[in-house]
Amino acid sequence: GINRGSYIGGSSVHNQRIERLWKDVHRVIVMLFSSIFYFLEDNYGLNIENSIHMFALHYIFIPRINFALETFIQSWNYHSLRTESHKTPRQLFLEGMVRNNLRGLEEVGVDLNHYGIDWEGPAPTD
């Protein structure tokens, strides 16, 4: 919890799969888009302090980032895991649902089309 002073010293053998996943997300998604953004800054004058530049960047790249993430998610969910008898994460998830007698997923009460939009934030003025 917050302000408990808890931390993990060294590597955790129980988090290896998620740590590997984050490394792959960083390598496949984060590095790609961050290199594009740095390239735009260095070669085409992208200014992250300019609200119109940021609006345009979001308008153009959020759908592309989301598509890249969806593609990554699909490939992750359907790849086999050697340590789990070559079952996929999706198969393991469904087995857990059946084993624990769960019938479905609860809907998240969030409009995902507008998730992450700060309606109270400043509008582009430049």
Domain boundaries, the chain: 15-79
- Model confidence pLDDT, tens digit, residues 30-81: 999 999 999 999 999 999 999 999 999 999 999 999 999 999 999 988 989 8
Q: Given pLDDT bands bounded at 50, 70 and 90, which one contains residue 13? A: low
Q: Angle of helix 16-25 relative to helix 51-77, nearest 10 degrees?
A: 130
Distances (CA, A) of 92 to 17, 81, 83, 87: 13, 10, 12, 7
- What are 1's two structure tokens? 């919890």
Query: DSSP letters along 71-94, please?
Result: HHHHHHHTS-BGGGTTB-HHHHHH
Mean pLDDT across the chain, nearest whole number? 85
pTM: 0.65
Q: How confident is the model at residue 113 (pLDDT cuts 50, 70, 90)?
A: confident
